[in-house]
Structure formats: C-alpha cells, structure tokens
Chains A and B, each alone.
Chain A
Amino acid sequence: MKFIDPHIHCVSRTTDDYLFMARAGVVAVSEPAFWAGYDRSSAASFGDYFRHLLDIEPKRAAKYGIDHYSWLCINAKEAENVALSREVIKLIPPLLDHPRVLGVGEIGLNKNTRNEITVFEEQVEIAAKYNQLILIHTPHLEDKHKGTAIITSILKNDQRIKPERVLIDHCEEHTIRMARENGFWAGLTIYPVTKVTPTRGCDILEQFGTQMICVNSASDWGESSPSMLIDTALEYRRRGHSEAEVEEVFYSNPCRFFGQSGKWKLKPGKTS
C-alpha cells in the first residue's frame, strides 16, 4: 500500500522521520508554509524559508524516494503584524510558477483577530489573481468553530473562488459540515494528543463519507508524528474497510485535489 501525506511540515522533522515514512509506504508529501517554531523578524527570513521549502526539502525527501511539494504564504500565526505580512506577500507571486509549488497555503486564522482576517483576505486575493489552489489553516481548540465560520464566509462571498479548488484543513466533528456543505475539500489532521486521534478520524470518515476528504499528520513543531497517517489507515482497515477503500482516502483523494494544480505527477488509482 502506498500513502500520501498531504499536509506535513518536513522542515521540523528529522531525517529518521523521512526514513520511517519511506518504510511505511509514503511516496509523496505536500508541505504548507507555516510557523518555523519561532516568530521571524523580517521578510528576508521568509525568503530563506521559501527557498528551503522549494529547494532543500525536495532534495531531502528524494533521498528516500518521496516526492515533495510545497505551498507558499505567510501563516496565520505570524499574520498579526500586517506590515511584515505585506512584505512577505510580495515575495510570493514570482515563486508561484515553481514546479514544486501547488498553491497558496496554509492561509487562514489562528486567534480570529481583525489583523489576521486582513492578511487572510489579501492572500485570497493573490490566489484568485494567479488562479492558485488554496490550502486553509483553521484555528485549533476553542477558536476552531468561529474561525472556520469566518473563513468559509469570506471564501463563499468571493465569486472568483471555486470551492473545489480549496481544502479546508484541520476539520473536526463540529466544523466538517461547513467545509463539505459549501463544496470545499476537507482535511483531517491526526495527532497523538490534544486534537483528532486516529480513532476519531475514522469515526469522521465513516459518518461523513470519504469523498473530498484528505487525511494528514501535520507533523509540526508540537507533539505529532508521521505515524499518525499510517495509524489512521490501519485503524480504518481494522474496522473492515477494504484495501481499495483505504487507498481511496489515503492516496487517491490527495491526487485528485493536488492534480488540479497541473504540477502534481501521481494519479488516483491502484497503487499496489
């Protein structure tokens, strides 16, 4: 069985994690631009980070037979500084034609502030202007429901945005309907603690169906692991779902969403 991790922050992971993923059957990943473990002090830091995403991580991943793609943006966690955010946003358009860039992301909200909303809207503008796929970060914990409602409201009110070209990530039991009922893709991010676990992830797949849903591990700077993707697939199979159904969720669905970029090489279908 081959897997795709559609949302993983490889810059925060060790080489051992790449080795684990390769052994487990992960053949491709997509890495949204996000926080670097600390707040950056200048746009130049983001310029270096983008170079890391586009040049360094694909080479690290390729050593383990993993195809690595990225998304570019200034993340919501650092978007409170609007002036800095605007300097960073200027760096993005010249990089959008890079063969490893799938779109604009992960943009969204963190604490649902006015400044975060301003920076989010300005990045939606970039995505619309350059016809890019969008990957959305929704807030965690108590901020998630309100933040997801604000984000989906902004996107729905922009006639240029096609919902099927947007993935609303980090959906949970109380937000997934907002994504699905408005025609967006939904992402489930599986963590060992604090957020959606492999068993709850499988509950959501069974309750809401597997169409237009991608499952990922995030594997960020917090307690997280690339094994969460595999553990969720194993739990899904343990519940009696066939290899073909597992493949549909954990391989073909990411291929369908990312395939809209014109740059993603893998196709949905039989992997083994």
Chain B
Amino acid sequence: MPDARNVLDHQYLEMRWRALSLAADLDRIQRAEGGDTVLQDDQRMVKLRRVFELLISTDSHDRAEQVQHILSDQTPWPE
C-alpha cells in the first residue's frame, strides 16, 4: 500500500492545475453574455455543483464512481 503523502506529492501539481483550469472555465462562462444565468440554471452546471460538493467532502472513498452516477442519464429504459 503506497504512502498517502507520497501519492499526494506525485499528484499535487496536476491537481493544482486542474483546479485552476476549472476556475478559469467558470470565469469564462460568467464573463460571457448570460453567464450568471447559465451558471445558475443550466442543468449541466446544476450537476457539476453537486459534483463539486462531493469532491470537497472528506468521508467518501468512491468519489469517481459517485461522480459518474451524478453525471449519468437517470431516465427509464425504452419500452
């Protein structure tokens, strides 16, 4: 089992730029015409806000799987 601090050491710079990239993505959407409305109401953003809440929780062990479910189509099967 690898040491968690070593794993973080290896991943940190990549996690850092991914966080910055997401922040810049959100800023770009907000600067565009209608940005506030899209960030607030677009269903994709609604789902992503749920994802962000999950990411910062400290008591989950299967975040990737939970994110997949949040982003999955939940409609019934075709008849």
Which residue numbers of A lie inside 8 Å of B, CB to CB?
Answer: 112-114, 117, 141-146, 149-150, 172-175, 200, 203, 239-240
Interface size on B, residues (CB 8 A): 14
Q: Which of B1-47 contact A (CB under 8 A)?
A: 2
Given contacts A144-B72, A145-B72, A174-B72, A114 and B65 within 8 Å (CB-CB): no
Among B2, B64, B73, contact of A143 (Cβ-Cβ < 8 Å): B73
Residue of A nearest to B47 (CB): A142
* 20 further interface pairs, Cβ-Cβ under 8 Å (given A142-B72, A142-B73): A112-B73, A112-B77, A112-B78, A114-B78, A114-B79, A117-B78, A144-B68, A145-B68, A145-B69, A146-B75, A146-B77, A149-B77, A150-B77, A172-B68, A173-B68, A174-B68, A174-B69, A200-B64, A203-B64, A240-B2
Contact check, B64 vs A145: say whether CB atoms are below 8 A apart.
no
B73 touches A146 (CB 8 A): yes
Residues of B within 8 A of A (CB): 2, 62, 64-65, 68-69, 71-75, 77-79
Known: A173-B64, A203-B64, A239-B2. A142 touches B71 (CB 8 A): yes
22 A-B residue pairings within 8 Å (CB atoms)? A112-B73, A113-B78, A114-B78, A114-B79, A142-B71, A144-B68, A145-B69, A146-B72, A146-B73, A146-B74, A146-B75, A149-B77, A150-B77, A172-B68, A173-B64, A173-B68, A174-B65, A174-B68, A174-B69, A174-B72, A175-B68, A239-B2
Please name the residue on chain B nearest to A238 by beta carbon. B10
Q: How far is the CB of B3 from chain A (nearest CB, A)?
A: 11
Q: For the complex, what is the distance from the CA of A112 to the CA of B74, rounded to whole Å?
A: 12
Residues of A near B68 (CB, < 8 A) are 144-145, 172-175
Residue in B2, B69, B75, B77 with the greatest tally of chain A CB atoms within 10 Å? B77
Compute how far the CA of A149 lies from the CA of B74 in the bound complex, rounded to whole angstroms: 12
